[in-house]
Chains A and B, each alone.
Chain A
Amino acid sequence: MAAQQPIPGTNPVYEDFSRCVHCGLCLNHCPTYRLWQLEADSPRGRIRQMMLVNQGELPVSEGFVDHIDKCLDCRSCETACPSAVNYGMLVEHARARIERDFKRPLFSRLARNALYRRLLPYPERIAIVAKLLRFYQRSGLQASARSTGILKLLGLRERDLLLPPVDRRFFFDQLGKTFPAQGARRARVAFFAGCVANVAFAALNKATIRVLTANGCEVAVPDGQFCCGALPAHAGVRDVARDMARRNIAAFAAANFDSLVTNAAGCGSTLKEYDHLFTADEPEFAAAAALAKKTRDVTEFLLALGLSAPPKSVPARVTYQDSCHLLHGQKIREAPRQLLRAIPGVEFVELPFADICCGSAGVYNVTETKASLDLLAEKMAFAQATNAQIIATANPGCLLQLRAGAEIHKTGQEVLHVIELLDRAYSNSSA
């Protein structure tokens, strides 16, 4: 093992682990325990392993890495935990430790390096990859790959379905613009555009801006903003996440706004915990905490602001899948549901086990495809049983996963972000 550098950012202490009194109330809230019924893949078991590793009583073994990798980081256990164990902080630290102390197999190292260090920090490279992907999707290559069954043969069918459809026009060209409020200005917000969302969710981003401006918000999309760092932070690549945080802190410091609004629950959760990436004695800490404090999920923000523009009718039976990093990461349960209920014509029906992850979890569906698809299968069975025509959710990753689920399991259901449905209610282009 190489000489150990300290792990940057928040490091847990004994009390953070010992808060777990191993009562076991988390077990059935954990998607992987529900799949395999293994202590090692339960929150309680993972906390015990992380504690033993932290105390030097267990090595960072292949087994340890496997169980920590298999965690979705959905943080459902945090919601269930009566003792308030800060599990997300613990598992992200464990991953940073793995990144530092464990040598992964060559392919995994190359892939992680490419994604976290060579792609995500460079918007222009994201655009190039997106253009290649768009060529694959639009040239007929994808269609023929699908129809010839070559994808199935290579075991890539599901992964292909998870590919985001690349936008015709990227959202990158909207950076630096300001969109005026319709009617009297009720708030000035900064909009967080994301990274991959710029090339795959431009429509969602534009819909979000339309809904915000319709409700009296002036929306600035500050230039110089950057990937929030959620993916590298969750993967334990803390130096990259910290770098991204620094760039965002600088970009948003220049803008004048009441709230930083995001439509991606995963980004929101990370932005709201920006201070965890730094220790209190680091110079960035105060600014990180200040930005975190200003961050709002778009559903949370709109509910607090109140809808000034009355939505028109969208007649449809709608269910809602909680985005883990909204419900468990940010503790927001009611806002998306209330917004859906505020749309006339919407018949809202609860999805059983909506609080259990759909299996998307950042890049989990690519790294742990089997587990992800098993979770998705159960999710789609419940979704189908609701007889809902539309499945709403609150995070781009969940949208991709659920859309693939609707395709794989042929449920015929439309999958929309809550804000896309609200936008539809405003434009009334009818379902």
Chain B
Amino acid sequence: MDIALIRELKTLLGPENVLSQKEDLLLYEFDGSVEKGRPEVVVFPHGTEDVSRIVKLAAKHQVPVVGRGAGTGLSGGALARGGGVMIVFARMNRILELDLLNRRAVVQPGVVNLDITRAVEHAGLYFAPDPSSQKSCTIGGNVAENSGGPHTLAYGLTTNHVAALELVLPDGEIVRVGSHHGDAPGYDLCGLFVGSEGTLALVTEITVKLSLKAGSVMTLLAIFDVVGDASRTVVEMTAYGITPVACEMLDGWTLRAVEDFIHAGFPRDSAAVLLIEVEGLREASESQAAAIREICHANDAREVRTARDERERELLWKGRRNAFGALGRLAPSNYVLDGVIPRSKLPEALEQIHAIGKKFGFQIGNIFHAGDGNLHPIVLYDPRDTEQFKRAIAAAREIIRMCISLGGSLTGEHGVGMEKNELMLLVFSDADFDLMRRIHDAFNPDSSLNPGKIFPLSKGCGEIHVRKSGPAAASPS
């Protein structure tokens, strides 16, 4: 790394906002995924102007730039695959404006997802996208990855809750897209940038839409002795046109790890549970809950419980939100996958995952958004065993291939990042890639922003190069 660049960054931001020692940089080479990529310098901007100046400096010195929030991502989206400058937005964490009447909040990218809800819940409002890491992850990361959560089933992904963005382009220019209220005339550029994984621009300010809390919420826990019965229940609910706001499945194996952590009363001997939530007017949610119960029992549910109060409800959700982490109890490392299948194929997909696990010698856990067919199989492995790690990656690839062959997709909400860029070849044709490449190049022609992500290194985006200076390839974490 260019010493002059580090010096200039320190002059610009103050030494307390620049990290360049190896022992500090080591802590930014990982996130929540199994990928690695070490930056050569880490900087903490405090405002949009800072970001613009950092980007200009980096451009002058021809080093790549990658943005990062809290580093909870699961596809390596915020890792410095090409080395260079990492812009950590964690100190840009102010809520700039609350417009409760019009249900809008203007926030900096480093604001923690749940802190938006905390700031507005007194008015009966909340921010709907609810990734399981919502206590830690930042809104900037949510925008970059177009994150979802359990309630995506009813309320959509982050993109459905973003009204406007302020962006810094790779040349340092500051632009605004979208509109505080109503639809912005012209192209839906907001929609283009949300989910672009930091490869088109850096987001420096977000206007989010706030939602009104429902009058009545009911949370059901359906307990099954056979996994297939649980997945058939989901298929049937859909067929009957019942629309819960969330429908999550945890298999027995993950359930036991979670129960060890939170003691929520998850039955340790069950094969699977469904966590189903309905909301709306009281009469409507009660009749929906009754219909759901009926379908559960028709599919041989052992028991269907209803959370009696907010505390019980919170406990059940806490179990779901902490599920990935809880598996750390069972093995030194785990690989959380993200794939989508048509929900009608759920029973078949789960059987195939089981078979793939058997073939590669893994017990594969399943915790996922059953309602919209967004699977999160989890492969447990020991990173010290390189052969095992390679097998874990191979098993993961085969599961994603299976999702695609069932008519699904290779990511539901975690993004492509550097985890699945090679797999993109499975879903897109040359013409498809060409279109994406042209959009990429229109904003980021030199691949100076977040290089090595989304596009397969071998194809599509000829300009994308991985610099040799930074450690790049996926390696055991």
Contacts and interface: CB of A to CB of B under 8 A. Distances in A.
B27 A39 contact: yes
A63 B133 contact: no
B212 to A, nearest CB: 23
A48 B133 CA distance: 20
A24 B27 CA distance: 12
A19 B31 CA distance: 15
Interface stretch (B158-166, B173-181, B317-325): B317-325
Interface stretch (A76-84, A182-190, A381-389): A76-84
Interface stretch (B186-194, B328-336, B353-361): B328-336
Contacts of B93: 37
Nearest to A63: B23
Given A18-B332, A84-B261, A23 B72 contact: yes
Quick one: which of B44, B137, B327, B329 has the most chain A CB within 10 A?
A: B329
Nearest to A20: B328
Interface in A12-32: 14-15, 18-29
Contacts of B137: 24
B112 to A, nearest CB: 6
Interface in B323-367: 323-329, 332-334
A183 B289 CA distance: 54
A37 B140 CA distance: 15
Given A22-B32, A82-B323, A84-B261, A49 B23 contact: yes
A68 B27 CA distance: 14
B261 to A, nearest CB: 5
A27 B70 CA distance: 8
A407 to B, nearest CB: 29
Contacts of B91: 37
Nearest to B92: A37
A82 B258 CA distance: 8
Contacts of B31: 22, 24
B26 A48 contact: yes
Quick one: which of B23, B30, B112 has the most chain A CB within 10 A?
A: B23
B474 to A, nearest CB: 15
A380 interface: no
Contacts of A58: 23, 26
B429 interface: no
Interface in B93-141: 93, 110, 112, 133, 135-137
Interface residues of A, number: 31
A61 interface: yes
B26 A52 contact: yes
Contacts of A24: 31-32, 70-72, 133, 136-137
Given A19-B328, A19-B332, A82-B326, A27 B136 contact: yes
A64 interface: yes
A123 interface: no
A48 B112 contact: no
Contact of A23 (B32, B88, B110): B32
Interface string B33-45: 0000000000010
A18 B24 CA distance: 19
B90 interface: yes
Contacts of A27: 70, 72, 136
B136 A18 contact: no
A19 B329 contact: yes
A83 B327 contact: yes
Contacts of A63: 21, 23-24
A354 to B, nearest CB: 15
A358 B396 CA distance: 44
A345 interface: no
Contacts of A28: 112, 135-136
A82 B325 CA distance: 5
A381 to B, nearest CB: 15
A421 interface: no
Contacts of B455: none
A48 B383 CA distance: 14
Nearest to B477: A22
B133 A23 contact: yes
B28 interface: yes
A24 to B, nearest CB: 4
A180 interface: no
A18 B383 contact: yes
B44 A37 contact: yes
A48 B325 contact: no
Contacts of B334: 21
Contacts of A48: 26-27, 30
A88 interface: no
Interface in B282-328: 322-328
B312 to A, nearest CB: 15
Contacts of A25: 72, 133, 135-136, 322, 325
Contact of B324 (A20, A82, A85): A82
A21 B260 CA distance: 17
B326 A83 contact: yes
Quick one: which of A18, A21, A58, A80 has the most chain B CB within 10 A?
A: A21
Contacts of A26: 136
A82 B133 CA distance: 12
A24 B260 CA distance: 20
Given A24-B133, A27-B136, A37-B44, A83 B26 contact: no
A49 B333 contact: no
A384 B142 CA distance: 34
Contacts of A37: 44, 88, 90-91, 93, 110
Contact of A83 (B71, B133, B325): B325
Contacts of B383: 18
A82 B135 CA distance: 13
Contacts of B261: 82, 84
A40 interface: yes
Contacts of A82: 258, 261, 322-326, 328
Interface of B: 21, 23-24, 26-28, 30-32, 44, 70-72, 88, 90-91, 93, 110, 112, 133, 135-137, 258, 260-261, 322-329, 332-334, 383-384, 477
25 contacts: A18-B333, A21-B324, A21-B328, A22-B31, A22-B71, A23-B32, A23-B72, A23-B324, A23-B325, A24-B32, A24-B70, A24-B133, A26-B136, A27-B70, A27-B72, A48-B26, A52-B26, A80-B135, A82-B258, A82-B323, A82-B325, A83-B327, A84-B328, A84-B329, A85-B328
Given A24-B137, A25-B325, 16 more contacts: A14-B384, A15-B332, A19-B328, A20-B328, A21-B333, A22-B31, A22-B477, A23-B32, A23-B133, A23-B328, A24-B71, A28-B112, A39-B27, A48-B27, A48-B30, A82-B326
